[in-house]
Amino acid sequence: MSDLVTVEEIEGAARRLDGIVLRTPLVAFPTKSPSAPPLQLKLESLQPVGSFKLRGAYTAISGIPEADRKNGVIAHSSGNHAQAVAYAAKALGIPAVLVVPNTTPQIKMDACAALGAELVLVEPTIEARVEMAERLAAAHGYPMVSPFDDRSVIAGQGTIGLEIIEDAPDVDTVLVPISGGGLISGIAAAIKARRPETNVIGVEPELAADARASFRAGRRIAWPSADTHRTIADALRVECVGAQPFEHIRALVDDIVTVSEEEIHDAMRQLARRARLVAEPGGAVATAAYLSRFGTVQPRGRRRNFVAVVSGGNADPAIYADILSEDL
């Protein structure tokens, strides 16, 4: 437990992020039944880069000594972390080089380029991303900004947990998407420090369920990229949860559940039609878990209330339009 990110580190990240990120709201999701447990949505999709990733990226980059970052930074990402690094680097007045899969949605690549970042495309595996990023970092002296396996990044993402507890102090269960694990690690560290009785549950696609497999086995288990790339949730296609995040998950997370592709689609539609919110597939999985598993009748004698993190809103326009029209 001593190696886990502390709430004091997360509070320090919150001070660093003041004026940089949006303190995102909790908004009520209109449930269909009055007997359903209430759900509030933590709208990280409203961040300037459309996802929570800005919190971790800015915390990490701003903590690098100026002399070490003056020539720029490098990151590898499936898309949202890349955009966050580009935004943070521009805010700090330094270049950014981003290694991304060649399958990254065009909307995310265009956003990175618009922020002045240099894009390097590689095959869609984490091994290819890491190899290229490390090679360029060594050749040019760029500091690496990890998408999830980094203490500063975890602390930055943990500021979401602080905000949830401040705005919903009696929350029973927090549902959090899992990819590399930095988001749920930070949120769990913050919430368990402030309100240990709150359940923190991870959610991932059943077609990319390496984190659940790892959680159940008690050790990190990687899935082949050919398997994880079956899911529409491009932000959640990491083949293996990070080493530091896994230690947090083992110590602090109560459970990990999965959702089907159709449940993800349905959650995107429900968020759009009932809450007027845009969520990308990876950003909708926590809401999907509520709708498919938890949003039924309240247990007698016990009030349950939920928060679902809507982690991103960078939906590919064509795919999003198809999903919204599927059942019309």
CA proximity to 255, closest of 298, 209, 216: 216
SS3 146: coil
- Spatial separation of the C-alpha atoms in residues 48 and 312, rounded to whole Å: 11
Cβ atoms of 328 and 321 within 8 Å: the answer is: no
3-state secondary structure 226-257: HHHCCCCCHHHCCCCCCHHHHHHHHHHCCEEE
SS3 198: coil
Strands 199-205 and 255-259: parallel
Q: Where are the alpha helices (DSSP H) in the chain?
A: 7-17, 53-62, 66-69, 80-92, 106-114, 126-140, 151-167, 182-194, 210-217, 225-228, 243-252, 261-275, 281-289, 317-324
Name the residue with tokens 């845009």: 278
- Spatial separation of the C-alpha atoms in residues 300 and 321, rounded to whole Å: 40
Catalytic hit among 42, 45, 51, 53: 53
In whole angstroms, what separates CA 243 from the centre of its chain?
A: 16
63 vs 20, 86, 90, 214, CA distance in Å?
14, 16, 15, 31
What is the end-to-end Cα distance of the chain in Å, rounded?
Answer: 50
Has 90 been annotated as catalytic? no
AA identity, residue 326 = E
Has 311 been annotated as catalytic? yes
Catalytic hit among 51, 146, 214, 311: 311
CA proximity to 308, closest of 245, 244, 263: 263
- Spatial separation of the C-alpha atoms in residues 141 and 294, rounded to whole Å: 48
Active-site residues: which are they? 53, 311
